[in-house]
Structure 1
Amino acid sequence: MSEPTLTNREFLSIVSHDLRTPIRQLSQFSQMLAATIDDLTGQQQQLVEFIEASSKSCTEIMDALDNLSHIRPPGNEVQPVDVVLCFKSALGAAIAQLDTAPHICIADRHTELPVMNHTHAKTILDCLVDNAIKFRHPDRELEISFSTASDQNGCSFEITDNGSGIAESFIGQCKTIFKKYDRNSAGPGLGLTLVDHIIALYGGLLSIQSNERTVGTTVKITIPFDKGQLNMSDNLLNTG
């Protein structure tokens, strides 16, 4: 999937900006109603909660559209990125929403570091960790594994969870904007679209392995090597 064109970026940015204020005001109005009216009927309370939930959902969509509209080629703002640290940072922020901390396994093979824009790497890991938590299975303790590797194709890292899984017939549609496997799931359905746009800037590869009849999903990111890119040893030799 290619980078959004200028026209698309402008459209996404305008939509996000122009909708944000009225939706925020609607949310504030519903909160004011709940705070100032002591004796809301059951139906009125349900309506207030519905407005709040809808406002939150719209805000999530606008945030995702805003992120999508601001994707830019990395240019010269690239460096070897420690994706393990990015994963740990994303995990720390995400598990705050859980009552029970997930079981985490990290297999860092200390291979070459992917050379990328740090914000791009952070956005990718934030999206993938969020998906792993969002689609956890209700009857299993959440497990998330993270691993790194490198070969002739470049540097790769992957996240595996033991969640609900995805039907094989749907995997090809996962990167389509607003396409959601479960219409009842939280979020706007833009996470993998955003990841795919970023990976495309590097000529990289996003692969997904899952099956709803088995346990969990594995998402693998591969960033190809480029001439002049630094690997870990080069970086260490050139410091200090």
Structure 2
Amino acid sequence: MNTDPSDDQGALSGWTTRRWLRTGVATTMVVLAVLGSLGGWAMWRTSRITAELVDSRSPALIEAIRLESALINQETGTRGYGLSGRADFLQPYTQGTADEQTALRRLRPLVEHDPRARADLAAVEKRAEAWQQRIAVPVSKSPAAEAVRLAARRATEGKSLFDALRRTMTRQQAHLQDERAAASDDLRHAQNLRNWVFAVIALVILVVAALVFEGLRRGVTGPLTRLGSAARDVAQGRFDRAITGTGPADLRALAADVDSMRRRLVEELEYTERSRRLLDEQAEDLRRSNTELEQFAYVASHDLQEPLRKVSSFTQLLQRRYGGQLDAKADQYIAFAVDGANRMQVLINDLLAFSRVGRVHNDHQTVDLEAVFGRTVENLSVTVEETGAEITHDTLPTVVGDSTQLGMLWQNLLSNAVKFRSPDRPPRIHVSAGREGDEWEFAVADNGIGIAPEFREKVFVLFQRLHTKDAYPGTGIGLAMCKKVVEFHGGRIGIDSEHTPGTRIVFTLPVAGTAAAPSERRTQP
């Protein structure tokens, strides 16, 4: 029968790939089911015989030998006590009695389903009980002198009883050995049968695999290879090449769909070219916008600063010269002007620093955060001393970044922790550091006034203030600056909602290398 689906004139040319695969998989599953059943039966038979040998036959023989050893120990101890009258000779008898009970407790379940083994065990127990009742128990329970006389009188009877017991135990062990040998033979035959079954299974699987491979090559991979070759030609730029399919009906339909996609690509290329020109125009607008931003920064740092300095200087001069000479309203107006000029200057400087993050200061190198932190604490030494603040910190690692920006980060976080202190307790600030995978996690925790839950996201937005300038001075740029610095270095920043009292700001920075484990120490400003 012609099984090549690529022959369009064949009787099976209308079959789809799914139908070919369904037929092949169904046939394969039937074959594998039969083979699996045979293999499972062979494995089950081998496992059953193995379990019988390991779990029943061998342990039963071992426990029978232990039972014999326990009874021999009893006989040895009884005989030694009967000859010498010394109580220490009874130790083997005592141990043998305990071992006998243990062996019997283990042996009874093992021979429960074997009538002959069960009968042998019953005979051993009967003989053992007869010897114990006549010899072992009376001798061991008697005083030394009486035990010697009793052992002498019953020596012949004891030997006869124990010899009968030995013969019974020997017969029991012989039967158990025969049963174990028979089980071993059965296991060997089962293993040979299992090996033959699996060899046949492997051979059949190889034959099925070869047939499947050949069928897939002729019915699927061959047509797909030709289709793929044509598609690669189109991908390399030959958009004028028409794609025709061979093989099963669905693969021919797929080729028609790919050819339709080729035609659609031609249309999309024209659209993409128009979009590219539009992106070029937008990129040019973005470059122009960046240039204007740089010009604004220049104006803010030079042209706007100069007139603002004049306004600030002359209003301060006016305040010093005419303060107290005019009425109270005039003094108030002059103070407003001086304060407004000073705040405008601080605001412009803060905006300049904010705009420079990632643009001006962008010198990434190895930075020792311990040194940067130390310089920051020195800069805040006057404020720390005035407020009675105590700053502690873990050993800080080395990271890769811009030292100027990281200094600004510590400056804003520590100054905020001191600024927003609680009026009823001195500031206590702790900086922790720990490694979490490929990141360092830092936290600045204080015992200040804290931040309400509804404002924990807003505080990182530019110009967001939670208090009036009379209560707490500032421009509302500090935490926005911190967020920009941390994100520029590839980290994250947020507020720990579970920390009380006060505020705990947590941020991360990528690991630059292996650093020593953090250990807490105190920083003296």
TM over 0.5: yes
- The AA in structure 2 aligned to 1:223 is L
1:203/1:224 contact within 8 Å kept: yes
Alpha-carbon distance in 2 for matches of 1:176, 1:9: 22
Matched, 1:149 2:434: yes
Alpha-carbon distance in 2 for matches of 1:157, 1:150: 9
- The AA in structure 2 aligned to 1:100 is T
Equivalent runs, 1:35-54 vs 2, <5 Å: 35-37=320-322, 39-54=325-340
- The AA in structure 2 aligned to 1:186 is P
Residue 16 and residue 210 in structure 1: after superposition, are their counterparts in 2 closer, same or farther (change >3 A)? farther
- The equivalent residue for 2:311 is 26
Larger Rg: 2
- The equivalent residue for 1:89 is 375
- The equivalent residue for 1:238 is none
Residue 35 and residue 29 in structure 1: after superposition, are their counterparts in 2 closer, same or farther (change >3 A)? same
Equivalent runs, 1:118-197 vs 2, <5 Å: 118-184=403-469, 185-197=472-484
Alpha-carbon distance in 2 for matches of 1:171, 1:27: 35
Any gaps of 5 or more consecutive residues in structure 2?
1-288, 517-525
Matched, 1:63 2:349: yes
Equivalent runs, 1:225-236 vs 2, <5 Å: 225=511, 229-232=512-515
Alpha-carbon distance in 2 for matches of 1:10, 1:78: 28
Three-state SS of the structure 2 residue aligned to 1:114 is strand
Three-state SS of the structure 1 residue aligned to 2:504 is strand
- The AA in structure 2 aligned to 1:33 is L
Three-state SS of the structure 1 residue aligned to 2:460 is coil
Alpha-carbon distance in 1 for matches of 2:398, 2:372: 12
Alpha-carbon distance in 1 for matches of 2:417, 2:487: 22
Three-state SS of the structure 1 residue aligned to 2:333 is helix
Residue 103 and residue 75 in structure 1: after superposition, are their counterparts in 2 closer, same or farther (change >3 A)? closer
Comparing 9-18 with 96-105, greater Cα deviation is found at 9-18
Cα deviation per residue 1:184-206 (whole Å; 9 max; x = unaligned)? Answer: 33111111111111112222111
Q: TM-score, normalised by structure 1?
A: 0.81
Structure in which a larger fraction of residues adopt strand: 1
- The equivalent residue for 1:208 is 495
RCO greater where, 1 or 2, for CA within 8 Å and sep 6 or more? 1
- The equivalent residue for 2:196 is none
1:106/1:145 contact within 8 Å kept: yes
Alpha-carbon distance in 2 for matches of 1:31, 1:201: 39
Size of the aligned set, in residue pairs, is 222
Alpha-carbon distance in 1 for matches of 2:477, 2:392: 26
Alpha-carbon distance in 2 for matches of 1:230, 1:136: 35
Q: Per-residue deviation at 1:13?
A: 4.6
Any gaps of 5 or more consecutive residues in structure 1?
234-240
Residue 52 and residue 191 in structure 1: after superposition, are their counterparts in 2 closer, same or farther (change >3 A)? same
Q: TM-score, normalised by structure 2?
A: 0.39
Residue 100 and residue 135 in structure 1: after superposition, are their counterparts in 2 closer, same or farther (change >3 A)? closer
1:179/1:189 contact within 8 Å kept: yes
Alpha-carbon distance in 1 for matches of 2:444, 2:405: 16
Alpha-carbon distance in 2 for matches of 1:28, 1:195: 31
Structure in which a larger fraction of residues adopt helix: 2
Structure 1 segments, 4+ long, off by >4 Å, are 7-10, 73-76
- The equivalent residue for 2:389 is 102
Q: Per-residue deviation at 1:138?
A: 1.9
Residue 199 and residue 140 in structure 1: after superposition, are their counterparts in 2 closer, same or farther (change >3 A)? same
Three-state SS of the structure 2 residue aligned to 1:204 is coil
Alpha-carbon distance in 1 for matches of 2:408, 2:327: 42
Cα deviation per residue 1:188-225 (whole Å; 9 max; x = unaligned)? Answer: 1111111111112222111212589x421111221123
Q: Per-residue deviation at 1:118?
A: 0.9
Residue 196 and residue 46 in structure 1: after superposition, are their counterparts in 2 closer, same or farther (change >3 A)? same
Residue 127 and residue 76 in structure 1: after superposition, are their counterparts in 2 closer, same or farther (change >3 A)? closer
Three-state SS of the structure 2 residue aligned to 1:216 is coil
Alpha-carbon distance in 2 for matches of 1:36, 1:75: 45
- The equivalent residue for 1:237 is none
Q: Per-residue deviation at 1:89?
A: 2.1
- The AA in structure 2 aligned to 1:22 is P
Cα deviation per residue 1:50-93 (whole Å; 9 max; x = unaligned)? Answer: 222212211111111111121226766311x2323322322222
Three-state SS of the structure 2 residue aligned to 1:220 is strand
Residue 202 and residue 53 in structure 1: after superposition, are their counterparts in 2 closer, same or farther (change >3 A)? same
The alignment-based identity, stated in percent, is 25
Cα deviation per residue 1:133-176 (whole Å; 9 max; x = unaligned)? Answer: 22112222111111221120411222111111111111111211
Alpha-carbon distance in 2 for matches of 1:136, 1:95: 16
Alpha-carbon distance in 2 for matches of 1:180, 1:52: 22
Residue 40 and residue 231 in structure 1: after superposition, are their counterparts in 2 closer, same or farther (change >3 A)? farther
Residue 47 and residue 218 in structure 1: after superposition, are their counterparts in 2 closer, same or farther (change >3 A)? same
Three-state SS of the structure 1 residue aligned to 2:448 is coil
